[in-house]
Chain A
Amino acid sequence: MVKQRSRTSIAAWIALLPMILTVVFAYIGTMLFTARVSLSSSRIFPTSDFVGLGQYARLFRNERWLLSLENLAIYGVLFVLACLVIGFLLAVFIDQKVSGEGVLRTVFLYPYAMSFVATGLVWQWILNPSLGIQQVLRHMGFEDAQFDWIVDQDKALYTIVIATVWQASGLVMALLLSGLRGIDEEMWKAARIDGIPRWRVYISIVLPMLWPSLSTAFVLLFAMVIKLFDPVVAMTQGGPGTASEVPAKFIMDYLFGRANIGLASAASIVLLTTVMAIVAPLYFARSKVVQKRSKA
């Protein structure tokens, strides 16, 4: 029996070999490599000298990097909030036993099946000031209608918010709707007997009950924020000027365009640290909740 057990255990380890190799080399190894390069003066090729935190110091004196961090923060807050609010409203309204529910669900979620590049290109077209919405409004008689955000330094970032919210809010709707369907009918009866208005019930009782779905949605949206790259490339290419620059694009430019991998690696590590600082506590809190539930 003992012999049997050790042999089968070996089979399991062999089966897990691809995963172990991925974790060790593709995740941990690459991160260590990037961390090491970020401490060197590497330009086109990695060098083995050691310049301490010099790259980080240069990074935080780089206007473009600071701007891209600021942009990502603004974008992230707006995008996540808008998706959650719109997704929640759509889910609640669909949940009122409306006719055509299936059609509406399909309509709200289809953008999520498209690639961010395709989404970006469609919205670039719609927001194009000389041929898009602005022009249509002018044709309709609003001679001074202005909607040229996509070429406006101060507003280009918001157009990316609009396009990506259009793509992703259906996802929140789908997640919350399945959460809403899991709520007991009895709760509604009890609330009605107590004479609590429906909107109050949604805010004070249903919303907290949706916590698991909400946190799932938040995690998915957050991952999208950090990876924000494709829509920017497709819509504004970081412009006008550097107005809609984001960290992921900054890193790509310095890695492949400007051949400064030392600086790009330092930027990657900063991004990684930020992500982990936000994800790790969340991850920890959730596994705590799961543990508590499985004990109860």
Chain B
Amino acid sequence: MKTRITPGRIGLYVFLFTAALFFLVPLYVMLVTSVKPMSEIRLGNIFALPLAPTVEPWRLAWQAACTGLECEGIRGGFWNSVKITVPSTVFSIVVGAVNGYALSFWRPRGAGVMFSVLMMGAFIPGQVVLYPLVRALAAVDLYSSIPGIVLVHVIFGMPMMTLLFRNYYASLPDELFKAARIDGGGFWRIFFELMLPMSTPVIVVAMIMQVTNIWNDFLLGLVFAGSDNLPMTVQLNNIINTTTGERLYNVNMAATILTSLVPLALYFISGRWFVRGIASGAVKG
């Protein structure tokens, strides 16, 4: 495989460069729009560089943009998203790890069937279970609350988390588990002292997956969080789609970037792990 410069090679780079441009343009447009004053935006050239860059739209987006009746910016949504994402991620990983461990090593009779049903659950459209879940949560006084939305995220994340951990534990040698059993380890002791310390790689992947999924969620937050706890994605949509008067496109774009910042940062920092999470997230049978 030599890499000489041939017409084919040039074509190859032209294709890749064009594709990269297509993928980068929205990011570029977002960035330049978010630092332009409205007077420049009205000129109607979304690709132009800002003549007089300003950070004012960012300040407005963070603390003064209107979401419906209130005008306190998107910062409330940011903190709501943090309050939802952190416990949801922790609990769904704990549940997934215990499930995966029990299913891979203990295999209680009948659990395989439960697992199959759970995996089918990954394909149930959210809308099918939405209304009954609302009723159920309302019955136990959890509807429109942080614990309620956290519970919903744990339920919806369970198929993927269980699958992830089950596959990981299935790849560990069975002898390890048998040796621990012979040494008299019980269910929880083997889990906490042997399996969990060995699970760091899969926990990292699970964390990236869940933080990204839960942070980016819109539907569940919209329905279950309640008006005091709306996550950032819902507030972002409210800012952009319900403004009265002139639309402040620069503020909108700043708010969009702010909302995407957490998952994007996670992606740029974690890189390879992120891809690994996607690959293992798919149903492997």
Known A-B contacts A248-B125, A290-B285; the reply to A19 vs B95 at CB < 8 A is yes
Contact indicator A27/B129 (Cβ below 8 Å): yes
Number of A-B contacts (CB under 8 A): 275
Most buried by B among A171, A220, A230: A230
CB-contact partner of A19 in B16, B23, B27, B158, under 8 A: B158
Contact code string B106-120 (vs A, CB < 8 Å = 1, else 0)? 101001001101111
Say how far A252's CB is from chain B's closest CB, in angstroms: 7
Chain A's closest residue to B127 (CB) is A251
Inter-chain contacts of A175 with B (CB < 8 A): 278-279, 282
Give the bracket for the number of chain A residues in contact with chain B. 35 or more
Bound state CA distance, A124 and B232, in angstroms? 19
Contact code string A260-287 (vs B, CB < 8 Å = 1, else 0)? 0100110111011001100110010011
Give the bracket for the number of chain B residues in contact with chain A. 35 or more
Binds B, one of A47-55, A128-136, A144-152, A153-161: A128-136
- The answer to whether the Cβ of B198 comes within 8 Å of any Cβ in the partner chain is no
Contact code string B7-23 (vs A, CB < 8 Å = 1, else 0)? 00000110110011011
Bound state CA distance, A223 and B133, in angstroms? 21
Inter-chain contacts of B124 with A (CB < 8 A): 27, 31, 272, 275
Contact indicator B131/A117 (Cβ below 8 Å): no
Contact indicator A117/B23 (Cβ below 8 Å): no
Inter-chain contacts of A268 with B (CB < 8 A): 125, 127-128
Chain A's closest residue to B16 (CB) is A93
CB-contact partner of B114 in A20, A139, A216, under 8 A: A20
* Consensus secondary structure, chain B interface: helix
Say how far B267's CB is from chain A's closest CB, in angstroms: 4
Contact indicator A121/B16 (Cβ below 8 Å): no
Contact indicator A97/B99 (Cβ below 8 Å): no
CB-contact partner of B95 in A18, A31, A94, A229, under 8 A: A18
Contact indicator A272/B128 (Cβ below 8 Å): yes
* Consensus secondary structure, chain A interface: helix
Contact code string A3-16 (vs B, CB < 8 Å = 1, else 0)? 00000110111011
Binds A, one of B43-51, B54-62, B64-72, B142-150: B43-51
- The answer to whether the Cβ of A116 comes within 8 Å of any Cβ in the partner chain is yes
Known A-B contacts A130-B44, A233-B218, A289-B285; the reply to A118 vs B275 at CB < 8 A is no
Binds B, one of A77-85, A106-114, A202-210: A106-114
Say how far B63's CB is from chain A's closest CB, in angstroms: 19
Chain B's closest residue to A134 (CB) is B44
Say how far B145's CB is from chain A's closest CB, in angstroms: 17
Inter-chain contacts of A111 with B (CB < 8 A): 23, 26
Contact indicator A104/B256 (Cβ below 8 Å): no
Contact indicator B23/A108 (Cβ below 8 Å): yes
25 A-B residue pairs with Cβ-Cβ distance under 8 Å, sorted by A, are A9-B108, A19-B99, A19-B114, A22-B158, A29-B132, A34-B129, A98-B16, A111-B26, A115-B217, A115-B259, A121-B237, A122-B30, A122-B253, A126-B46, A166-B22, A171-B278, A174-B279, A217-B282, A219-B283, A230-B233, A233-B241, A234-B240, A255-B127, A280-B120, A290-B285
CB-CB nearest 10 A-B residue pairs: A115-B216, A11-B187, A113-B267, A30-B132, A12-B106, A216-B282, A30-B129, A135-B44, A33-B132, A290-B285
